[in-house]
Amino acid sequence: MGKLRVLHCYKTYYPVTFGGIEQVIFQLSEAMNTDEVESTVFCVNNSEDSGLEPFHNHYVFRTKKDFEIASTPFSFKAFKQFKELVKSFDIVHYHFPYPFMDMLHFASKVNKPSVVSYHSDIIKQKKLMGLYNPLMKRFLKSVDRIVTASPNYLNSSKVLQNYKDKVSIVPYGIPDITKSKSDADVNNEITKQFPNGYFLFVGSFRYYKGLHYLLEAMKDSNIPIVLLGANGEEDSLKKFVKEHNMTNINFVGAKDDSIKYSYLAKAVGFVFPSHLRSEAFGISLVEAACFGLPLISCEIGTGTTFINTNDQTGIVIDGANPEQLKRAVYNIWNDRSKSSEYGKRARERYEEIFTAKKMASEYLDIYEEVIFQHKNRQFYITR
């Protein structure tokens, strides 16, 4: 038997963008045993139509986008390209949400085993959901398996409740990043600037990250807070800090992984104040857990509280609540013994649930099961 050939489909991919979904696709493609599985990523959000190219230990098929509506890139060429490409694969792995992907699926008349990673409900585009909803329902009904990253998200998603009989749960995983190389000069610089440590946030400064609530909570504090990221609401956050003369808030910008790992290694705790369901999982929480940091997050009915369990791996608070957020930061900062226990359990939870190897293994089991079921179904149809 030859290699299992998996075709991933999503709107965008490395190195054009570096979001959480792209990271999941990358980890899946790299963590699969390359002697057994060959992974290819089909993506549309590109400035050029470069076709199939090797990328690390897998492949990427890049097609040029022609236009974009509501953060959804479209490509006329993609219809023919996807239809031809899918013929040589054993299974198609879609990454939701991406409405144009649903169109590709039906236009190409895909008759292959299919899996959908349901990364998030569509939260922001409420007006367009009325138009997309019939296509979305038809698409989710047509695929063989839907996978979400936490039981919390399954239980809180109204959409997923309609497909519970074919939903599997596979948490996102990452490799052990504590073993990655870090910059010695950066480490020394961080230690010099923050001799007593700091709380760390990592991520883009998007509207749902709750960073304004973090700043409000830390307004009269001298506890150092390091914000590693950029874009989004960066200007308004910096304006707030300046207006309130907050010398404890440190914007360090977006950094590459080696520098990010240095900041994770030196932190006292990790604060992740996302307060809206747009934060479907929180891969940054997994990275912090990997480094054995005590965690602070909000209860929003998504994967954040699957990663961080209250009074076990850290503290869970209500969303958009500066007072609770302040107490949580002070509790971990002032009780280093307790914070050490939280951090130890966070690392143990990472090793038990959130490794890239475990994620890849569970997805491979799903691939094989779905392919077997599809073959049996085709056998009975053709008899």
Residue 377 and residue 313 share a domain: no
Residue 119 and residue 199 share a domain: no
pTM of the model: 0.94
The whole-number pLDDT of residue 123 equals 86
Residue 340 and residue 215 share a domain: yes
Residue 245 and residue 204 share a domain: yes
Residue 222 and residue 105 share a domain: no
What is the span of the domain harbouring residue 101?
4-174+356-382
Which residue matches tokens 């936490």? 150
The whole-number pLDDT of residue 19 equals 84
The whole-number pLDDT of residue 27 equals 96
Closest CA to 74 of 9, 11, 137: 11
Residue 326 and residue 201 share a domain: yes
Beta strands in the chain (DSSP E): 4-9, 37-46, 51-55, 58-64, 67-69, 72-74, 91-96, 114-118, 145-148, 167-169, 199-202, 225-228, 249-251, 269-272, 295-299, 314-318
Q: What is the CATH number of the domain that holds 194?
A: 3.40.50.2000
The whole-number pLDDT of residue 17 equals 87
The whole-number pLDDT of residue 378 equals 67
Residue 198 and residue 155 share a domain: no
- Measure the CA–CA gap between 133 and 135, rounded to whole angstroms: 6
Q: What angle do CA 327, 333, 338 make, to 5 degrees?
A: 95
DSSP letter for 178, please.
G
Q: How many domains does the chain have?
A: 2
Q: What is the mean pLDDT of each run of 10 residues along the chain (383 residues)?
A: 91 90 95 93 93 96 95 96 97 98 97 97 83 96 98 97 98 96 89 97 95 97 97 96 98 94 97 96 97 98 98 98 98 97 98 98 97 80 55
Rg value, the chain, Cα: 22
| Tokens encoding 339 | 């914070």
Residue 19 and residue 168 share a domain: yes
Phi-psi sector, 145: left (phi>0), alpha (psi -120 to 50), beta: beta
- Measure the CA–CA gap between 191 and 152, rounded to whole angstroms: 37
Phi-psi sector, 155: left (phi>0), alpha (psi -120 to 50), beta: alpha
Residue 244 and residue 166 share a domain: no
Residue 298 and residue 370 share a domain: no
Which residue matches tokens 């994770």? 264
